[in-house]
Amino acid sequence: MAQLQVNGLQIEYDTFGDPSDDPILLIMGLGTQMTAWSPDFCNALVKHGHYVIRFDNRDIGLSTKLEGARAPGRLRYFLHHFLHIPLHEPYSLEDMAADAAGVLEALEIDSAHVVGASMGGMIAQILTVRHPRRVKTLTSLMSSSGAPGLPRARPDVVKQVFTSRPNTSDANAMLQHLIKSAKLISSPGYPRSDDDWRDLITESLNRSFYPMGFVRQGAAIVADGSRVRRLNMIDRPTLVIHGSDDPLIPVEAGIDTARHIAGARLEIIDGMGHDIPPQLIDRLTTLIAGHAGRTEGKNPRRASG
């Protein structure tokens, strides 16, 4: 793994496959490191003929942390929700989309197939609108349009993942919390064992443990609001994938996303929740690669000099 200088930040990134192959950029979700795109997932895309780039979003993983940037307090959220007063988030999803564009710029990749999961799907949507020449195709995975009136996460999920999130630097307390949270939002049709979850989350915590990044990224999501008007501007081939049993971002959000993007293809996967279970890697990567195959080609790179 290595780092790129992007928008004044150090962005940690990793690649898989042959740089001359058709590139795919993977963008991960809220408070989640790039390693959630597992090597098995990335290598499956490589086998489909792609050069795969994954990276840590700002404020998470091994990328630059926005130390000292204040997240909005509860009163500010209240005023934003009921009186539409600006949230004053430290940075926006638009800023994070600019980071994604900057990763491609720094790697001298003119355009890539872009795949975003959850918050990463929101970033990918904005990237496609604001930096369209960087995007060959868009895949929005278990994400949302942000439209008002969409079903919200289950109350037990909200309580576990957000309301009762430990305000502590105790890694063991966070481990127990994250295991419970992961199991709660995971795919009921494709379960993982407790040991699998423990190993996966322990590895993530050992790599980086930074709860404030979660808080500030969450503020960026809330402040972004509805993307419906922006989705109407997308003219790139779009695939929307969502699990039928997603308790965090209900499937109606995926359906609504596809509805607002001209020509978007919608794939609903029975038994899938808000994770990428190993049992679905072949299916998901086949869908993504098949979608990308509509614009097959070698990676265009700018001539140096």
Our CA angle for 45, 146, 137, nearest 5°, is: 30
300 found inside a domain: no
Phi, psi of 267 (to 5 degrees): -125, 115
Asked if the structure places residue 189 within a domain, the reply is yes
Residue 301 lies in a domain: no
What's the pLDDT at 259? 98
Residue 53 included in any domain: yes
Is 169 contained in some domain?
yes
Q: What span, in angstroms and rounded, lies between the C-alpha atoms of 59 and 210?
A: 8
Per-residue pLDDT of the chain (305 residues; tens, 9 = 90+): 699 999 999 999 999 999 999 999 999 999 999 999 999 999 999 999 999 999 999 999 999 999 988 888 777 776 676 667 888 899 999 999 999 999 999 999 999 999 999 999 999 999 999 999 999 999 999 999 999 999 999 999 999 988 777 766 677 888 888 899 999 999 999 999 999 999 999 999 999 989 899 999 999 999 999 999 999 999 999 999 999 999 999 999 999 999 999 999 999 999 999 999 999 999 999 999 999 997 544 444 333 22
Residue 192 belongs to a domain with what CATH number?
3.40.50.1820
Domain that holds residue 84: 2-295
Q: Is the pTM of this model over 0.75?
A: yes
- Asked, for residue 49, whether it belongs to a domain, the answer is yes
Asked if residue 302 is part of any domain, the answer here is no
Residue 162: the pLDDT is: 83
Q: Which residues contact 137 (CB under 8 A, 6 or more apart)?
A: 113, 114, 236, 237, 238, 239, 291, 292, 294, 295
Q: What is the pLDDT of residue 173?
A: 82
d(CA 120, CA 274): 13
Strands 135-141 and 238-243: parallel
- For residues 4 and 92, the answer to whether their CB atoms sit within 8 Å is no
Looking at residue 70, its pLDDT comes to: 85
**Residue 83, pLDDT score:** 66
Residue 184, domain member (yes or no):
yes
**Can you give the pLDDT at residue 299?**
42
What is the number of structural domains in the chain? 1
